[in-house]
Structure 1
């Protein structure tokens, strides 16, 4: 999503050249530019583009090459792409110069449609948290539990684990199915069919007469939930320009919180209701939330990137026109840039060139898949599973159930505040730095929590542990929570984005099943009885993730998809990514010859 025509914003670039297309010859070999050739390319670029401003709008005070030099160097490496380099250059240049407000003015419809499709995550956040709260509802326990002497009706820990992990298992199936469906019928139709299927599954939830039927309904509902988890992210990543990408992608984390907050608010009003409607009404509300989303999805434009990758350039042009302000964006330049990036990726992956799941583990895409999976798994193992138990600590400290629900509302309010703060932090500090700083802060919080948990149990200790978990929630939603969605969407190649994101979320869900099994046992007095000392375990896993991120996680802040593709193809180290953001001219990644390139595809140290 790239270029602009004349607009009122001084940061909006004016572009007038037209696009030109040429297919890559299959027999073309990758030509690596030598240092002397790079110097010639610089002189050539300077002679032809000396009037262009070389400064980056992303990093003030640091000079970086203009887009012309980048495209000229790329053209030296890929000679057959030279006929396309002029419109691609203009498209990249205009996107880099685009300000945030300019992007909002030029792509207002893209913003709206991205928010509409992201609202499916609000629906999922609402749905998935209900079952956890219902375990404490008397009417729910009487309907699906078993009577226990002197304890009333209870749902056994085995069934609790089955109901929560059943949904996770269904999500994994839905994720993998999403990779096939979205690649064949498009994002819009995949999402539409998933919503219809979810409405049918909600019938099973609403009319479930026993716990076995409830488990089957949870598993089936997990299938469309798995689709929602990734499709909203890939759609947002493909319909907005670079300047808006971080805001829209991090907003997905906020959508999760809004859904959970809405569910908690609804359940707060029903907590004292002892009839079956205390749990059936929340199930029924899923229909009310989903119908407006379903109607909106019917009219949503397809991703122009998806259409371009499937050889439907005229349809991609039409879809792009539905995402932009009329007459303010040069559609020819934007389409040329998408076509250019698609052809470069096809060439760089000429050893395979496929878009299957297996392709995500071949060549340079193997490293990208590793990064995406680890970034998302980090969310599960950095202690966030403990935040759901903050209210438990307060109940043990003397809070009643109503006040515990009020506290949950406060926790989600803090999470929303943290997510909003992350928008500013992302635009100022980038992705890698924010992720690493967030992990450092979580490690310290968990370490302190483990020390306090080792002290004799008292009300003061429980209050302190609960308060530390509140702080952990804020830190998480300022850093790890929202940044994860940005990184996972930016790291994959555009041709394999949906498959890579699906694999990453699958890894997240598998880790979630393990963590959901471990956490209750850590805190239960009848199992492992670690209680507050559980923080030590998560401090250890957080430290491991921190070390991995330091050596493996690159900085993608301000980079176009084409620039990210080239850096991964050159097996650039983490420092190379940072250098490109700060000063592209000094990186010289086109002079990395075959002797300097690591033999392993797991490169990047």
Structure 2
């Protein structure tokens, strides 16, 4: 089996793609479902400014209509509530049903759930619709990176797990384009069309995934070794002998994990070496919020508070999605040359610097007209760095760090840790920026810079380097309690036969 491990280490990205190009294709299709969640995150917040949406779901205010702050918060949090439910459901049901069946059930569910927001006429009904839609989105966000990490070899894991972040950003880009094209409309289709466009994804994805192969790792965990061989044969062009060796390695890795972790419940995520793995996964995903990313969700509002006119603020707000898209693409280049830990830590250091710079610019005395533009440019650099490092690399880290038997549940716990912090700080950020509340404006950079610094310290001491390691090697390294900073150079010599 050492020979199989060595082949994983020496396999180049191009060789891996040539052998597993079918696995790459199926992984890309599964991850495409995340586009819907990214689309919705940029959709609802922008609709609050549409007169037709305000008239339908708001109350008379001045010369027009306005959606109360309470309902804005409720509607925005409705999706997150649904996502939390969906994430926990995924952690339990995917291990029972398999990735394929769970994905098909979720796609069928989202197709039906979209009818609720599309036909809603009151804020309470729209809230229910957002909660219902959030449940399958929660499944997509955790199932996609898990599937990618299980169907592809070591050389491709980083690219295909970080592709999930690209799908998220792509959804936001599509939403910004759709909303921009509908700004002149004042009828009900100004908000119904954006909801209706969500039907574009689930039906074709459902039809395609009816033919998708199941994860061979899941089949091994179900003691279906022959089915695992058939699945691996559909995912790769390996020879019969290589196929046998790969499945044998999966069986042995699963057996080793069974010995060190008897169960597969949520409680087992906090036992033995899995406690450390759960901590790493949860913190890595929580840092996506704690590093300052909630500002990105209110970028247009931040630009206005910094002193830019509305049209300039809107243009820059849309451009941040372009920065995010380019950043994620370039992250693939970095992944080819640097480790996950290096990229993640380097990104945090740069983002930390940008946040404190935003705070410093906010306290410079005087009325220099260049300061608002400088603050806005620095925030765009922050967005670029986030989507070059913390944003996409997080998906690779949580997929690789979790054990194969507990992957679904560990990723679910990590994702909901992120959701918890996102709900808290997503609701608090407007109060930090609003002139009628804390009115911090650019000084918010000091607050987020402080949190980002703590995240950087944790990353330096606790985040290991999983790049280039097989799941069997990672199991042994965590069981041997290898220090996080020693992971990269650690030599695994006691691989069990």
Q: Provide TM-score, normalisation by structure 2.
A: 0.96
Q: In the superposition, relative to structure 1, how do residues 531 and 408 fare at CA in structure 2: closer, same or farther (>3 Å)?
A: closer
Q: State whether residues 463 and 485 of structure 2, in contact with CA within 8 Å, keep that contact through their aligned partners in structure 1.
A: no
**Pair 1:212-2:124 in alignment:** yes
**Pair 1:427-2:340 in alignment:** no
**Pair 1:416-2:348 in alignment:** no
Q: State whether residues 295 and 302 of structure 2, in contact with CA within 8 Å, keep that contact through their aligned partners in structure 1.
A: no
**Pair 1:439-2:348 in alignment:** yes
- 3-state SS of the aligned residue for 2:201? helix
Residues of 1 paired with 2:32 and 2:494: CA distance?
A: 40
- 3-state SS of the aligned residue for 2:278? helix
Residues 273-422 of structure 1 mapped to structure 2, 5 A cutoff: 273-325=185-237, 327=239, 330-349=242-261, 353-395=262-304, 397-401=307-311, 404-422=313-331
Residue 576 (structure 1) shift: 2.9
Matched with 1:84 is none
Residues 123-522 of structure 1 mapped to structure 2, 5 A cutoff: 123-150=36-63, 152-325=64-237, 327=239, 330-349=242-261, 353-395=262-304, 397-401=307-311, 404-455=313-364, 459-522=369-432
- 3-state SS of the aligned residue for 2:65? strand
Q: State whether residues 340 and 466 of structure 2, in contact with CA within 8 Å, keep that contact through their aligned partners in structure 1.
A: yes
Q: State whether residues 146 and 155 of structure 1, in contact with CA within 8 Å, keep that contact through their aligned partners in structure 2.
A: yes
Deviation per residue, 1:422-469 (Å, 9 max, x gap): 112122110111111111111111011111122356643322221111
Identify the range of structure 1 (383-392 vs 520-529) with the bigger mean alpha-carbon deviation.
Answer: 383-392
- 3-state SS of the aligned residue for 1:153? strand
Residues 10-25 of structure 1 mapped to structure 2, 5 A cutoff: none
Residue 406 (structure 1) shift: 3.8
Q: In the superposition, relative to structure 1, how do residues 128 and 385 fare at CA in structure 2: closer, same or farther (>3 Å)?
A: same
- 3-state SS of the aligned residue for 1:579? coil
- 3-state SS of the aligned residue for 1:445? helix
Residue 560 (structure 1) shift: 0.8
Structure 2 unaligned residues grouped into runs of 5+: none
Q: State whether residues 114 and 235 of structure 1, in contact with CA within 8 Å, keep that contact through their aligned partners in structure 2.
A: yes
Deviation per residue, 1:264-310 (Å, 9 max, x gap): 11111001111110110010011122211111121111100001011
Residue 384 (structure 1) shift: 1.1
Q: State whether residues 567 and 589 of structure 1, in contact with CA within 8 Å, keep that contact through their aligned partners in structure 2.
A: no
Q: 2:21 aligns with which of 108, 112, 119?
A: 108
- 3-state SS of the aligned residue for 2:404? coil
Residue 389 (structure 1) shift: 2.9
Residue 498 (structure 1) shift: 0.5
Deviation per residue, 1:314-367 (Å, 9 max, x gap): 111111111012648721011111111111111122xxx111101101111011
Deviation per residue, 1:122-164 (Å, 9 max, x gap): 12111232101101111101110111135x2111111111111
Identify the range of structure 1 (111-120 vs 284-293) with the bigger mean alpha-carbon deviation.
Answer: 284-293
Residues of 1 paired with 2:327 and 2:133: CA distance?
A: 30
Identify the range of structure 1 (450-459 vs 378-387) with the bigger mean alpha-carbon deviation.
Answer: 450-459
Greater helix proportion: 2
Residues of 2 paired with 1:218 and 1:514: CA distance?
A: 18
Q: State whether residues 106 and 328 of structure 1, in contact with CA within 8 Å, keep that contact through their aligned partners in structure 2.
A: no
Deviation per residue, 1:213-245 (Å, 9 max, x gap): 000101111111110110001000000000001
- 3-state SS of the aligned residue for 1:189? helix
Residue 417 (structure 1) shift: 1.3
Q: In the superposition, relative to structure 1, how do residues 329 and 222 fare at CA in structure 2: closer, same or farther (>3 Å)?
A: farther
- Higher Rg: 1
Residues of 1 paired with 2:201 and 2:317: CA distance?
A: 22
Q: In the superposition, relative to structure 1, how do residues 374 and 398 fare at CA in structure 2: closer, same or farther (>3 Å)?
A: closer
Residues of 2 paired with 1:418 and 1:455: CA distance?
A: 30
Q: State whether residues 108 and 202 of structure 2, in contact with CA within 8 Å, keep that contact through their aligned partners in structure 1.
A: no
Q: State whether residues 33 and 201 of structure 2, in contact with CA within 8 Å, keep that contact through their aligned partners in structure 1.
A: no
Residue 252 (structure 1) shift: 0.8
Residue 393 (structure 1) shift: 4.1
Residues of 2 paired with 1:281 and 1:458: CA distance?
A: 42
Q: State whether residues 394 and 466 of structure 1, in contact with CA within 8 Å, keep that contact through their aligned partners in structure 2.
A: yes
Q: State whether residues 78 and 131 of structure 2, in contact with CA within 8 Å, keep that contact through their aligned partners in structure 1.
A: yes
- 3-state SS of the aligned residue for 1:330? helix
Structure 1 unaligned residues grouped into runs of 5+: 1-87, 591-605
Residues of 2 paired with 1:566 and 1:555: CA distance?
A: 14
Count of residues paired in the alignment: 493
Q: State whether residues 303 and 376 of structure 2, in contact with CA within 8 Å, keep that contact through their aligned partners in structure 1.
A: yes
Residues of 2 paired with 1:514 and 1:209: CA distance?
A: 28
Residue 482 (structure 1) shift: 1.0
Residues of 1 paired with 2:403 and 2:127: CA distance?
A: 37
Q: What RMSD in Å do the two structures reach over aligned CA positions? A: 1.6
Residue 89 (structure 1) shift: 2.2
